[in-house]
A and B are shown apart, each in its own frame.
Chain A
Amino acid sequence: MSDSINQSDRSAARAALRAAGPAGPCLDEMALASYVDGRVGSRERDAVEAHLAGCPRCLRAVREARELLAQALAMPPLAVLRRAGALRPAPKVGVAATAWSRVAVWSASAAAAVVFGTVGLLAGSGLGASRGQASVRTDREVAFDVARAPGGAVADDALEVLLDVEEDGCE
């Protein structure tokens, strides 16, 4: 079977693709990850592939994800782990626990220092140590300070103001 591209085949193929109609809204990362990992059933696979056939954005995400996953991991600068470790996750629970969760959110903790030390051993003294001191704080982290201040806004509320990342869509 030849791999050469026949022009009439190309025209016919494009007509068939057009006949299938619009691709619909982009898939979320969970759906894309499931497809990339090959953990989809036949029905879900059909749905994902029908979308990919008409959505260049999601198709690009799948292709790049495969490429990225094939590459070696990169040890991040120490500051990345230190800053992420300082984000204390706070589950949203029932009303009775609301006060606790709001007080506890985002507070830096001693445990973050454990992360700092542990990863420091892994990363060595070069890259991480030098970059750790020069780290630039983002607006969002400044918001955490506001949230922690006595009488300050709740962290999530502050984030709502500053966080403009689209929550929906694949990118």
Chain B
Amino acid sequence: MVDLNGCLRGDQAAWDGFVRFAGPVLYAAVARALRRHGIEDASTAEDVTQDVFVRLVKDGLRLLRTFDASRASLPTWLTLLGRSGAIDHVRRRRLPTVETDADSVPVSPEPAIADTPTESLDLPPDLLSPRERLVLSLLYDHDLSVAEAAETLAVEEQTIRSLRHKAVAKIRERLAGGGGLRRGP
């Protein structure tokens, strides 16, 4: 049992218990995330894991205090922290792999269609629900399969197909109604 309140009070035994629990979770996340970027040596994984622990306790345990057990499980949060620590490390080292990695893509990149000079579509921003937009993004921007998209959203594949169908139908209906089509130069 992890005693987070004890950790926040500065209790060493509680911290020891936290380290025993968090160590394997963080290390696994860090090592595997580093491996995805071509970094396989154990000493780097050790150092990055330690960096994450330092982040947790730094500044009066500021980061650890942000954990909210009512919002997420501790392993999930730690896994994301470990992965972030690994990505930070990769960026600092400026490995060549970063340049070709999807993480180097700017936030909200313009989809390819925006570069098409002959035709574009004007659609209202709220035409689709957030989930419908996400499904279209997964399928058409990221080229994921239906199965991969379902895994990403933790839903059944049929749900993905249904959301895609609804979203595309909404767009077609909008276009059929005369709205949205604009000829470019």
**Chain A interface residues toward B at CB < 8 A:** 1, 3, 5, 9-23, 26, 28-30, 32-34, 36-40, 45-47, 49-50, 52-57, 59-66, 68-69, 71-77, 79-81, 83-85, 87-92, 101, 104, 109, 111-112, 114-115, 118-119, 131, 134-136, 138, 140-141, 156, 159, 163-167, 170-171
> A87 and B15 in contact (CB under 8 A), knowing A5-B139, A12-B171, A54-B107?
yes
26 A/B residue pairs, CB under 8 Å, sorted by A: A12-B172, A13-B140, A14-B111, A14-B113, A15-B113, A16-B133, A17-B136, A18-B110, A18-B111, A19-B127, A33-B77, A34-B68, A59-B137, A62-B152, A64-B36, A68-B33, A74-B31, A75-B24, A76-B27, A81-B23, A84-B19, A89-B10, A89-B61, A156-B59, A165-B51, A171-B103
What A residues does B60 contact at CB under 8 A?
A: 90-92, 101, 156
What B residues does A16 contact at CB under 8 A?
A: 121, 123, 127-128, 133, 136, 167, 171
* A138:B111 contact, CB within 8 angstroms: no
Residue B2 interfacial (CB < 8 Å): no
Question: Range of interface residues on chain B?
Answer: 35 or more
* B121:A11 contact, CB within 8 angstroms: yes
CB distance from B169 to the nearest CB of A (A): 10
* A17:B72 contact, CB within 8 angstroms: no
* B46:A135 contact, CB within 8 angstroms: yes
Residue B95 interfacial (CB < 8 Å): no
What B residues does A81 contact at CB under 8 A?
A: 19-20, 23
> A140 and B19 in contact (CB under 8 A), knowing A59-B152, A135-B46?
no
> A30 and B77 in contact (CB under 8 A), knowing A111-B12, A140-B51, A159-B58?
yes
* A170:B134 contact, CB within 8 angstroms: no
* Inter-chain residue pair count (beta carbon < 8 A): 302
What A residues does B55 contact at CB under 8 A?
A: 163, 165
* A165:B88 contact, CB within 8 angstroms: yes
* A61:B46 contact, CB within 8 angstroms: no
What B residues does A29 contact at CB under 8 A?
A: 77, 80-81, 84
Q: Known contacts A15-B122, A32-B80, A91-B10; can you find 4 more A-B pairs with CB under 8 A?
A: A63-B151, A77-B42, A89-B7, A101-B10
Question: Which residue in A28, A72, A111 is a CB contact (below 8 Å) of B16?
Answer: A111
